Amino acid sequence: MPVTPEQLAAFLAVAVLLTISPGPDNLMVLGVGMSRGRQAGVAFGLGCALGCLSHTLLAALGVSALIAASPLAFGALKIAGGAYLVWLGIGALRSSGQVRVDGSGLAQESYGRLFAKGLVANAINPKVVLFFLSFLPQFVVAGQGAASVQTAILGIVFTLQACVIFGLLGLFSGHAGRWISASPRAALWLDRVAGAVFVGLGVRLLVAR
C-alpha cells in the first residue's frame, strides 16, 4: 500500500489539529458565515478546502519547490493573493448589509460565486504553497512507494478533512450570524467586520517577508 493505516492515522491527527487551529482560512470562513448566512459560510468554506487540491497537485509534481525557490514567482503569487483578499474585503466593506433572504439565503451573491471566491483565495495563497511543501513530505515514507503518489494521497486526505471542518465552521458561524443580524444595523457591521478581516489578511500577506 502506498500509505499504511498507521501513517494515515498519524497524518490525519496532525492535519485536524492544524486545520482547527486559528488561521487565515478559519477567519475568512467565520467572517463570511457570520455576515452572509450558514449556506454562504459552508459554500465559501468548501471552496477554501478544495483549494488545497491545487496545492496537492503542485507539491506532488514538484512545482511548489520551484515556486519556493524562485523569488520572482513567489513574489508574484504573493502580490496576486494579497491583492485578491484586499479586493474581497473592499467589496464587503462597500456592502449595504442587506444580503439575506429570510435570514439564511443570499439576495445579491450566489453560493457558486462564494465557493469560487474561497477556492481562488486558497489556491493563490503562497503561504499555503509553502505549507504543503513543508508539511506533506514529513509523512512520506521512503521505500514505501513513489513519493509523488504518497504526497497526492495525503493531500487528498487533508482536503477531505478540511471540507468537513470548514463546512461545519461555516454552518455554525452562520447560525451565530443569523442571531446577531436580527438587527439591520448589526448585519451591516457584520459585513464591515468581515471586510476588515479580508483586508487585514491581504495586507498582511502583501507585506510579509
Full domain range(s) for residue 175 = 5-14+23-207
Residue range 32-58: average pLDDT? 91
Identify which of 151, 153, 122 has the alpha carbon closest to the alpha carbon of residue 138.
Answer: 151
Q: For residues 16 and 162, is the Cβ–Cβ distance under 8 A? A: no
Would the pLDDT of 116 be above 90? yes
Most distant CA atoms of the chain, gap in Å = 60
pLDDT at 100: 45
pLDDT at 182: 54
pLDDT at 120: 92
Q: For residues 141 and 150, is the Cβ–Cβ distance under 8 A? A: yes
Which three three-digit cell numbers place residue 102? 429570510
Q: For residues 202 and 85, is the Cβ–Cβ distance under 8 A? A: yes
Confidence of residue 52 (pLDDT cuts 50, 70, 90): very high
Would the pLDDT of 183 be above 90? no
Of residues 139 and 24, the one with the higher pLDDT is 139
Q: Which amino acid, 99?
A: V
Would the pLDDT of 164 be above 90? yes
Return the sign of the alpha-carbon dihedral for residues 180, 204, 14, 139.
positive
Would the pLDDT of 106 be above 50? no
Percent of the chain with pLDDT over 90: 27
Would the pLDDT of 101 be above 90? no
Would the pLDDT of 190 be above 70? no
Question: DSSP assignment, residue 166?
Answer: H
pLDDT at 185: 65
- In order, the DSSP letters of 131-156 are HHHHHGGGGPPTTSS-HHHHHHHHHH
Q: How many domains does the chain have?
A: 1
